[in-house]
């Protein structure tokens, strides 16, 4: 059942938030729809960023995202789960990632959405290459992201 309700995509093209919302929000047994959109911002660690390139590990990425969705379902009573992550080069302000979760109640939907992005950031094989005034730099993994993911293990 979960496979039917999970939508996991890794793609270069942009996604439409209204379309993705409509896709997950059509079930009247759900009282809560929580979405998160990650965007390319114009700074990181005090330096200007002009664009961002996302690399990934084809095959493994999709498997990890599906596994994370399964883990979220084991923790909370969820209905629909969507994870869309873009790869390739994105300009400032562009959308990078979409997480959408529906549930009968808001607490489960909020918690699952946060869990999904925390786990995605630390478990899914994506790497960010930032371009800026100083040239190109691979983004370093943050301890704070690892700590956020570990919080869910308690």
Partner 1 sequence: MINVLFFAQVRELLGENALKVEASDSTKTAEDLRAQLAAKNDKWGKVLASDKLLVAVNQTISSWDTPVEDGDEVAFFPPVTGG
Q: Which of 141, 147, 150, 151 binds partner 1 (CB under 8 A)?
A: 141
From start to end of 12-142, where are the E strands?
A: 32-39, 43-44, 47-56, 78-86, 88-91, 95-103, 126-132, 135-138
User: Binding to partner 1 (CB under 8 A): which residues in 95-124?
Assistant: 96-97, 117, 120-124
Question: Which of 72, 124 has the CB closer to partner 1?
Answer: 124
Q: Which stretch in 19-27, 59-67, 72-80, 102-110 sits in contact with partner 1 by CB under 8 A?
A: 59-67
Question: Which of 30, 97 has the CB closer to partner 1?
Answer: 97
> Nearest distance from residue 125's CB to partner 1, in Å?
5
> Nearest distance from residue 5's CB to partner 1, in Å?
22
Q: 103 to each of 12, 39, 59, 81, 83, how far by Cα in Å?
A: 29, 25, 29, 9, 15
Q: Is 129 in the site for partner 1 (CB under 8 A)?
A: yes
Size of the site for partner 1 (CB under 8 A): 28
Quick count: other Cβ atoms within 10 Å of Cβ 95? 16
Quick count: other Cβ atoms within 10 Å of Cβ 97? 20
């Amino acid at each position: 059942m979960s496979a039917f309700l999970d939508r996991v995509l890794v793609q270069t093209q942009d996604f439409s938030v209204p379309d993705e919302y409509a896709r997950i929000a059509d079930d009247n047994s759900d009282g809560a729809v929580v979405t998160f959109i990650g965007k390319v911002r114009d700074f990181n660690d005090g330096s200007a960023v002009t664009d961002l390139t996302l690399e990934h590990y084809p095959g493994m990425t999709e498997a990890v995202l599906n596994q994370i969705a399964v883990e979220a379902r084991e923790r909370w009573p969820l209905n629909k789960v969507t994870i869309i992550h873009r790869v390739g080069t994105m300009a400032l302000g562009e959308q990078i990632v979409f997480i959408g979760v529906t549930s009968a109640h808001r607490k489960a939907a909020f918690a699952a959405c946060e869990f999904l992005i925390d786990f995605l950031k630390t478990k899914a094989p994506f790497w960010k290459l930032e371009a800026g005034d100083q040239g190109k730099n691979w983004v370093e993994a943050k301890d704070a992201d690892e700590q956020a993911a570990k919080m869910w293990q308690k």
